Amino acid sequence: MCGIVGYVGRAEAAPILLDGLRRLEYRGYDSAGVAIVTRGHLETRKCAGRIVALASLMTKQPLSGSFGVSHTRWATHGKVTDENAHPHFDASGKLALVHNGVIENYQALKEQLIQGGDTNFRSETDTEVLAHLIGKLYDESCASTVDAPQKKARLLTAVRTALQQVIGTYGIALVHAEVPDFMIGARRGSPLVLGVGKEENFLASDVSAIVAYTRDAVYLNDFDVVALERDKFEISSLAGEIGDYRVSKVEFTAEDIKKGDFRHYMLKEIFEQPNTVRDAMRGRLSLEECTAKLGGLNMTPAQLRDVGRIVLTGCGTALHAGRVGEYLIERLANIPTEVEYASEFRHRNTPITPETLVFAISQSGETADTLGALRESRRKGFRTLGICNNVASTIARESDGGVYMHAGPEIGVAATKSFTSQLVILTLLGLLFGRMRNLSTSEGSRIIEALEALPGQIEEVLNLSDQIKAIARTYADVNGVLFFGRQFNFPIALEGALKMKEITYLFAEGHPSAELKHGVIALVRPDLPSVFIVPDDAVFSKNLNNMEQVKARKGPIIALTSGNGAKQLKNVANEIISVPEAPDCVMPILTVIPLQLLAYHLAVELGRDVDKPRNLAKSVTVE
């Protein structure tokens, strides 16, 4: 989940590399570094800390040159130190490599290198071992004098040979001081994109790093190796076979990934939800047939009707969306639906019947565990579809079909708008399957009306931001927060707790409300508030009873309700947040937004770095 940026062209590389790293800092911010080839010499600057520390270092010690690589790190192997920051070098110091992923057999490879006399290791990382291995293979092949084209070919061969010995995942970019204006990239399990410019080319782990310079991109596949020069590139396999590729047009611009007038990306993305929810359903509702239209599923009506079981798999926020989806699909379509942690699904022998349909849910479309689950499902012969936000992502490309979220780039590490977009899509799936089975036209029409009303209702909820900010100030000195909900809103309790953990670092747990008296009530005390999600629905009275139990034990209560709920809660709750009325199936989209705002405002009160919370990065592309 680190950030990689590479450049080869005619412009000064340093400003382009630094700008790309700033755009990728959400992928890792433990340390950062740049390596640029200058007049046949490799110059580097790297340090622990944020990109601003690297920029300061490069102001004092500037670099000049027109090709190089850079990296922002989320530590896997080795502590957060200057020495462990990327780029890493081979034994000669002439080759610089940046890497996202995990080399699982790096210790065995390192021992082989040491036995061969290479003991000049400076870091604790797996990446440095790969750099040494490639450098050794290249140096051995260039023992005699060779010309520039031969050096390029031999460096490329060294990369291929080294990667064939690697067990694990990688997205890499490298340069060599002896091979001017030539860069190599490769991927397996970690995303890497080639940016195609005019007399310049780019490499990046995320297209957002380079969209300010080009919107023409080639999304590399696993086992692709790309050789870049200023005016050309070539994509081949590890075996050396020339591969096919497609140049895609990036759908968003550099303006779309700016904060604008908002203090944080997270707040900007929370406030984008009226539009992202609208975009998730745009063109997908049939008023005439009272159903949803999802052509990207690549399934005929007969195949859809034959689905007898659905498995939803994901990680983190995407998993919570799947838990809401379980309630939605079973309620609307009466299809048995299960939710699986992707990390567990891929490693256990889950019984799956032939009529099972699997959905892999991921904002980035690159989540390692979710991608592994998708591959495991397809390996066993089951139709597997994706729900993701990147149409060119690995999950989108490897799945049998799916639904694109249209949420736009999400930079804040804590997912917000992607979650509500996933909920919209899962509602559409429930509507589609329901109308093919037991859902009447009147019920279908009611759901469509509720979906179409959502953007306006979300705007009403966003107007509660100042009220929620005041609540956050009231509870800024608490030691943690409990979250409770029932039915459709139990997963929202889980998601509310996750947001609170991610950006405030407070203890937080989500539970079904009825589990209170089965152990959780032992935690209730005056300095631990409970957030109850209690819309005015069929289980309101049940929730009210649980709230009374917390109040009797002097636990502070923040109630999130709708309709007439506020009147009934005024003597029970310390704080009441009221959202617009809506049917059960869309209520989670409205109830989660106040919880996003509560976590955000509390994190700001506590002085947390909201967009870059400690130990977290946006896209988990390593296990």
Active site positions, annotated: 2, 618
Strands across the sheet with 201-204, in order?
41-48, 31-38, 67-73, 3-8, 201-204, 193-196, 216-219, 248-249
Structure tokens that stand for 290 in this block: 């009272």
Dihedral of alpha carbons 20, 25, 28, 31, sign: positive
For residue 165, the SS3 value is: coil
Question: Do residues 193 and 211 lie in contact, with contact meaning Cβ atoms separated by under 8 Å?
Answer: no
Cα separations in angstroms, 287 against 277, 367, 442, 447, 545: 18, 35, 11, 11, 40
Q: Which residue has the tokens 């029970």?
A: 572
Q: Are 582 and 449 in contact (CB under 8 A)?
A: no
SS3 label, residue 243: coil
**CA–CA separation, 200 vs 9, rounded Å?**
4
Instruction: Phi first, then psi: give them for residue 203, nearest 5 degrees.
Output: -130, 145
Secondary structure class of 602 (helix, strand, coil): helix
- Residues with Cβ within 8 Å of 66's Cβ and at least 6 positions away in sequence, in order, are 7, 8, 9, 10, 11, 12, 13, 181
Q: Do strands 575-579 and 557-562 pair parallel, antiparallel, or not at all (unpaired)?
A: parallel
Can you tell me which residue has the tokens 């565990």? 369
In eight-state DSSP terms, residue 247 is P
Two tokens, residue 117: 């006399």
Partnered with residue 408 across adjacent β-strands are none
Give the pair of three-digit tokens for residue 569: 């809660």
